[in-house]
Structure 1
Amino acid sequence: MLPRLVLLAFVWGVNETLQLPVWLALCVIAADAVILLGQLRHYHLRAEDHIRDTGAMALSWGGYLMCLLVTAACVILWWDMILIATRAPAGETFETRMRRERAALYVLAPDATGQRLRFEGEITYGLTTRVQALLETGPELREIELTSPGGHVYEARGAAQAITAAGLDTVARGDCTSACTLLFIAGTRRRLAPGARLGFHGYGLAQAVHLPSYDIAAAEARDMAYVLSRGISRDFASRMFATPAQSMWYPDEDTLRAAGVLRD
Structure 2
Amino acid sequence: MINRAPVALPQSFWLHLVLPRAVILLALVTISSTVRVPVGFLYVLLVADILFFIRQFLRFQANADNHLQSMGGMTLIWAGYLVTLVAGFASISLWWGAFLFSSQPETPELFTDQMDRLHAAEYELSLSDDLLSLTFNGTITFGLTKRATELIAENPQLVGVRLTSNGGHIYEARGFANLIREHGLNTMVRGDCSSACTLVFVAGAHRSMTPDARLGFHSYALEFGSTLPNLDLEKEQNKDRDFFRGQGINEAFLIQMFDEPNTELWYPSREEALKAGLLTQ
TM-score, L = length of structure 2: 0.61
Task: Quote the Cα distance in structure 1 between the aligned partners of 2:223 and 2:126.
Answer: 34
Instruction: Give secondary structure in 2 for the equivalent of 1:213.
Output: coil
Q: Is 1:96 matched up with 2:98? A: no
State the number of aligned residues. Answer: 179
Q: Is 1:119 matched up with 2:136? A: yes
Q: Which amino acid aligns with 1:125?
A: F
More helix by share: 1
* 1:143-222 pair list within 5 angstroms: 143-205=160-222, 208-222=225-239
State the match for 2:59 in structure 1: none
Task: Quote the Cα distance in structure 2 between the aligned partners of 1:252 and 1:90.
Answer: 53
* 1:237-252 pair list within 5 angstroms: 237-252=254-269
Q: Which has the larger radius of gyration?
A: 2
Task: Quote the Cα distance in structure 1 between the aligned partners of 2:169 and 2:274.
Answer: 26
Q: Which shows bigger deviation, 215-224 or 200-209?
A: 200-209
Task: Quote the Cα distance in structure 1 between the aligned partners of 2:162 and 2:196.
Answer: 15
Task: Quote the Cα distance in structure 1 between the aligned partners of 2:224 and 2:124.
Answer: 31
Instruction: Give secondary structure in 2 for the equivalent of 1:225.
Output: helix
**1:134 Cα deviation (Å)?**
0.6
**1:92 Cα deviation (Å)?**
2.4
Task: Quote the Cα distance in structure 2 between the aligned partners of 1:237 and 1:187.
Answer: 17
Task: Quote the Cα distance in structure 2 between the aligned partners of 1:99 and 1:182.
Answer: 23
Residues 195, 206 of structure 1: CA spacing in aligned structure 2 closer, same or farther, 3 A cutoff?
A: closer
Q: Is 1:133 matched up with 2:155? A: no
**1:160 Cα deviation (Å)?**
0.3
Task: Quote the Cα distance in structure 1 between the aligned partners of 2:254 and 2:161.
Answer: 23
**1:205 Cα deviation (Å)?**
2.5
CA contact (8 A) 1:146 1:170 kept: yes
Instruction: Give secondary structure in 1 for the equivalent of 2:274.
Output: helix
RMSD, aligned CA: 2.0
**1:183 Cα deviation (Å)?**
0.5
Instruction: Give secondary structure in 2 for the equivalent of 1:242.
Output: coil
**1:207 Cα deviation (Å)?**
9.8
CA contact (8 A) 1:172 1:193 kept: yes
Task: Quote the Cα distance in structure 2 between the aligned partners of 1:119 and 1:137.
Answer: 17
In structure 2, runs of 5+ residues without a counterpart are 1-36, 39-105
Instruction: Give secondary structure in 2 for the equivalent of 1:161.
Output: helix
TM-score, L = length of structure 1: 0.65
**1:224 Cα deviation (Å)?**
1.0
* % same residue: 42
**1:241 Cα deviation (Å)?**
1.1
Deviations 1:87-143 (A, max 9, x none): xx8442111111011001000000121101100000001111111111100001111
CA contact (8 A) 2:221 2:233 kept: no
* 1:228-243 pair list within 5 angstroms: 228-243=245-260
